[in-house]
Chain A
Amino acid sequence: MSATVETATEIRPFQVEIPQEQLDDLRRRIAATNWPEKETVADESQGVPLAMIQELARHWGTDYDWRKCEATLNALPNFITEIDGLDIHFIHVRSEHEDALPLIINHGWPGSIVEQLKIIGRLTDPTAYGGSAAEAFHVVIPSMPGYGFSGKPSSTGWGPERMGRAWAQLMKRLGHDRYVAQGGDWGAFVVDWMGVQEVEGLLAIHSNMPGTVPPEVDKATLAGEPSPSGLPADELRAWEHLLTTYKQVDYARIMGSRPQTLYAIADSPVGLAAWLLDHGDGDGQPAGGLVSGINRATSDTGELTRDEFLDNVTLYWLTNTGVSASRLYWEYKGGFFNVKGVSIPVAVSVFPGEQYQAPRSWAERAYPNLIYFNKVARGGHFAAWEEPELFSQELRAAFKSLRNGRSS
């Protein structure tokens, strides 16, 4: 092997070390925020309300401590390796249980690896969380290109299809010859496309934002046409939810057409925080799960808290990835919740606050090899972040059938 090739496939340990100067600059900018006047409505219909963002900024600029998040990240094994010309950052936690099933988990937007931190222990060390050794996973959590500590693409073409191929290379490089993949939001697109491309070694996928909408329904919802007649109750509910969702995704339309114009989210911390908070997830605008989180100072049960939300925003800020992350929307020209054509085994968990609740009938049509389908009682678009315990249980159950008879 030549030295060049060795360098390119090398896996380098990585530690997060943000210079104090950057943290001071962030606080300075937050304190110096020039605010607009209050919205002219009493609800969230014009965007993130002034009082909400001012309270968040007050905490962010004073009591919030990034170093805690940095310490959490650095307590985990972080690495960087170059794939397809780009540095890919990832967390890789091997379970101590040798038969553990390798699992690659994809975050979405406006998320990052920060979304997944609370499920790592539960998945890799299930016996410490009420599970059994037979349920363990080896976990790989990459940062998508343009996100977090991964490199920012300098040319076009890094859509979910290409990311899916990169993840397969990553798993191979880590020695995981047979593995499963999980994703929500953009991560759901990536795992769907991994499934469509049947990348090497992939046994099955789990999605918490599955693409199940039948073609005729997808076409009609996008066009705002009346619903096809005779839909059963759960399909009609999904239909209505999709109509609402499509009216709430203006942030996606902007990023899909004009990502570079968002200089705002590179230069203004508060501008960035508002942009990342205003994400329609079906629970109402702005994102229901996130709003609940920023109103929660602490949680004994692992629910999303204000500091966790700020960890994520601060990660975007410190890596200056607001615009590079937005470009993913520009890259992708395919459908959103439509059927992508995955024929390998698929598991689906439906969370009640998701952009739409996939009916079992649609999931069965969309994924002919549906190995698991469950509707859970709690959680929304940021399921792993909002309900880490429930989410982890879902993954254990979803992939259970694949472990039987699997060669170790």
Chain B
Amino acid sequence: MSTTVETTTEIRPFQVEIPQERIADLRRRIEATRWPSRELVDDRSQGVQLTTLKALADYWTTDYGPGRIADRLKALPQFTTEIDGVDVHFIHVRSQHEGALPLIMTHGWPGSIIELLETIGPLTDPTAHGGSAEDAFHLVLPSVPGYGFSSEPTELGWFAGRVAGAWPVLMQRLGYTRYVAQGGDVGAAITDAMARQAPEGLVGIHTNLLVPALAGAPLPTDTDEEKAAANALATFRASGAGYLIEQNTRPQTIGYALLDSPVALAAWMLDHDTDSYYKIAHAFVDGEPSGGLTRDHILDNITLYWLTGTGASAARAYWEGGQAAARAAGQAPPPVTIPVGFTTFPGEIWQTPRTWAEKAYPTLMYFNKVDRGGHFAAWEEPELFSTEVRAAFSSVRQ
């Protein structure tokens, strides 16, 4: 092997170090925020409400400890390795149970590895979290290129399909020859694409967002449940997808403010879906979080975007998705032939009926509807989410 190859496949330990100066600058900027006038309505129909964002900014500059991110991540084994020209950052926690199933789990937007941290314990150490040793996973949590501590692609073409091509390289490099993959949101798109590419060693996937429905696959609308899902999806497309449209088409334009104004970044990231918005607003305005969506956890995620300066590059990943979708217009994607698990969380943008999951994935091996959690299921309900992941993959364990 030549030196060059050795260098590029090297796995380097990584530690988060945040200069004090960056934290001081962040605080200064938040304190100097210039606010617009209050919205003219009493709900979120014009966007993120002024009271919510002011409560967030207030907590950010007072009770929140910006050193939290480094402290939380310091305890975890982190690495970077170069794949396809990009430095990929990932957390890699091996279970102490030798027969554990390797699992690569991918975050979404406006998320990051922060979304997934609370699932590490339940998934890698199930016996300490009400599970059995047979439920254990070796867990790999990468940062998507352009997000968090992964580097930002400087060339075109990093849509979900290319990320999906990078993850098997990562798993192979870690010595995993038989593994599964999981994702929600953008992570679901990447996981879905992995299943369609069917790399050697990938034996099953689980998602909590039905990607083919977003991609416009024909799905039945006969039952009340199906009609409700179709209506919720239509409402999202009509009035809830503003962030998606902007990021799909003009990431650089919105990117300037996302890197220059912490409050602009926070507002942009809070304005995702109705359920999570009100849960987060409730956490900041009333101090009542929904599960793991606590004020500190939400600010860990926003602060991570700020400190890594990834508002524009994360948005650009949507532009890549838009370009890829335009290129693929009219062509059916390759079918999924490996086993698929799916969990419907009640607060998700639409509640996927079993019939939709079956139609989207003929190889559906697991389907469940749970009673708690929303779009950020792993973040909000890490124990329940981990139970679902265990159940989904129990049939592919050897």
- Interface of A with B (CB < 8 Å)? 33-37, 39-41, 46-50, 53, 152-156, 250-251, 253-254, 257-268, 270-272, 274-275, 277-278, 286, 320, 322-324, 327, 330
B46, B50, B254, B264: the one within 8 Å of A47 (CB): B254
B39, B47, B260: the one within 8 Å of A268 (CB): B260
Contact A261 B256 (CB under 8 A): no
Contact B36 A323 (CB under 8 A): yes
- A-side contacts of B82, CB under 8 Å: none
Q: Write the chain B residue with the least CB distance to A330.
A: B46
Q: Is B8 an interface residue (CB 8 A)?
A: no
CA distance A272 to B240 in the complex (A): 23
Contact B36 A36 (CB under 8 A): no
Contact B152 A37 (CB under 8 A): yes
Contact B34 A320 (CB under 8 A): yes
Q: A257-B242, A258-B47, A320-B36 are in contact. Are A37 and B312 (CB under 8 A)?
A: yes
Contact B36 A271 (CB under 8 A): no
Q: A36-B259, A259-B47, A261-B268 are in contact. Are A254 and B252 (CB under 8 A)?
A: no
Q: Is B316 an interface residue (CB 8 A)?
A: yes
Contact B254 A264 (CB under 8 A): yes
Q: Write the chain A residue with the least CB distance to B312.
A: A36
Contact B36 A274 (CB under 8 A): no
Contact A267 B263 (CB under 8 A): yes
- B-side contacts of A268, CB under 8 Å: 256-257, 260-261, 264
- B-side contacts of A277, CB under 8 Å: 253
Q: Is B208 an interface residue (CB 8 A)?
A: no
Contact A266 B253 (CB under 8 A): no
- A-side contacts of B255, CB under 8 Å: 36, 47
For chain B, what secondary structure do more than half of its interface residues adopt (helix, strand, loop), or is it mixed?
Answer: helix
- A-side contacts of B311, CB under 8 Å: 36
A155, A251, A257: the one within 8 Å of B250 (CB): A251
Q: Write the chain B residue with the least CB distance to A285.
A: B250
CA distance A275 to B239 in the complex (A): 20
- B-side contacts of A254, CB under 8 Å: 242, 245-246
CA distance A259 to B271 in the complex (A): 11
Least Cβ–Cβ distance between A250 and chain B, in angstroms = 5
Cross-chain pairs A/B with CB under 8 angstroms, 24 sampled: A33-B260, A37-B154, A37-B313, A46-B252, A154-B38, A156-B40, A250-B248, A254-B242, A259-B47, A260-B46, A261-B48, A261-B243, A263-B48, A263-B263, A267-B261, A267-B264, A268-B256, A268-B257, A268-B260, A271-B254, A271-B264, A278-B250, A324-B37, A330-B46
Least Cβ–Cβ distance between A351 and chain B, in angstroms = 24
CA distance A263 to B41 in the complex (A): 16
- B-side contacts of A50, CB under 8 Å: 252
Q: Write the chain B residue with the least CB distance to A271.
A: B257
Q: A250-B246, A258-B242 are in contact. Are A36 and B258 (CB under 8 A)?
A: yes
- A-side contacts of B263, CB under 8 Å: 263, 267
CA distance A259 to B240 in the complex (A): 12
Q: Is B267 an interface residue (CB 8 A)?
A: yes
CA distance A305 to B55 in the complex (A): 41
CA distance A270 to B259 in the complex (A): 10
Most B Cβ at <10 Å: residue of A33, A39, A322: A39
Most A Cβ at <10 Å: residue of B35, B242, B245, B260: B260
Q: Write the chain B residue with the least CB distance to A275.
A: B253
Leading 4 A-B pairs by shortest Cβ distance: A271-B257, A264-B257, A260-B47, A47-B253
Most A Cβ at <10 Å: residue of B245, B250, B267: B250
Q: A259-B47, A262-B47 are in contact. Are A271 and B152 (CB under 8 A)?
A: no
Most A Cβ at <10 Å: residue of B40, B156, B256, B271: B256
Contact B309 A36 (CB under 8 A): yes
Least Cβ–Cβ distance between A272 and chain B, in angstroms = 8
CA distance A274 to B53 in the complex (A): 23
Contact A259 B252 (CB under 8 A): no
Q: A156-B40, A257-B239, A259-B46 are in contact. Are A47 and B33 (CB under 8 A)?
A: no
CA distance A47 to B319 in the complex (A): 10
Least Cβ–Cβ distance between B238 and chain A, in angstroms = 8
CA distance A260 to B47 in the complex (A): 5
- A-side contacts of B239, CB under 8 Å: 257
Contact B33 A41 (CB under 8 A): no
Q: Is B153 an interface residue (CB 8 A)?
A: yes
Contact A47 B259 (CB under 8 A): no
- Taking A47-B253, A153-B40 as given, write out 4 further A-B residue pairs in contact, using a Cβ cutoff of 8 Å, ordered by the A residue number: A36-B258, A36-B313, A262-B36, A267-B261
Contact A261 B260 (CB under 8 A): no
Q: Write the chain B residue with the least CB distance to A256.
A: B242
Most B Cβ at <10 Å: residue of A257, A258, A265, A277: A258
Q: Is B155 an interface residue (CB 8 A)?
A: yes
- A-side contacts of B106, CB under 8 Å: none
Least Cβ–Cβ distance between B182 and chain A, in angstroms = 28
Q: Write the chain B residue with the least CB distance to A54.
A: B256
Q: Is B150 an interface residue (CB 8 A)?
A: no
- B-side contacts of A33, CB under 8 Å: 256, 260
Least Cβ–Cβ distance between A184 and chain B, in angstroms = 23
Contact B53 A40 (CB under 8 A): no
Q: Which of B219-253 contact A (CB under 8 A)?
A: 239-240, 242-243, 245-246, 248-253
Q: A258-B242, A258-B271 are in contact. Are A271 and B261 (CB under 8 A)?
A: yes
- B-side contacts of A152, CB under 8 Å: 37
Q: A261-B268, A271-B264 are in contact. Are A327 and B258 (CB under 8 A)?
A: no
- B-side contacts of A271, CB under 8 Å: 254, 256-258, 260-261, 264
The 0/1 profile, CB within 8 Å of A marked 1, for residues 259-281 of chain B is: 11101101110110000000000
Q: Is B49 an interface residue (CB 8 A)?
A: yes
- A-side contacts of B257, CB under 8 Å: 264-265, 267-268, 270-272, 274-275
- B-side contacts of A39, CB under 8 Å: 252, 316
CA distance A278 to B255 in the complex (A): 12
The 0/1 profile, CB within 8 Å of A marked 1, for residues 14-46 of chain B is: 000000000000000000011111111100001
- A-side contacts of B246, CB under 8 Å: 250-251, 253-254
A35, A36, A263: the one within 8 Å of B261 (CB): A263
CA distance A112 to B169 in the complex (A): 54
Q: Write the chain A residue with the least CB distance to B35.
A: A266
B242, B245, B309: the one within 8 Å of A261 (CB): B242
Contact A40 B253 (CB under 8 A): no
Most A Cβ at <10 Å: residue of B36, B255, B270: B36
Q: A46-B250, A260-B46, A261-B267 are in contact. Are A35 and B259 (CB under 8 A)?
A: yes
Least Cβ–Cβ distance between A144 and chain B, in angstroms = 15
CA distance A323 to B34 in the complex (A): 12
Contact B267 A250 (CB under 8 A): no
Q: A36-B309, A40-B154, A46-B319 are in contact. Are A263 and B253 (CB under 8 A)?
A: no
- A-side contacts of B264, CB under 8 Å: 262-265, 267-268, 271
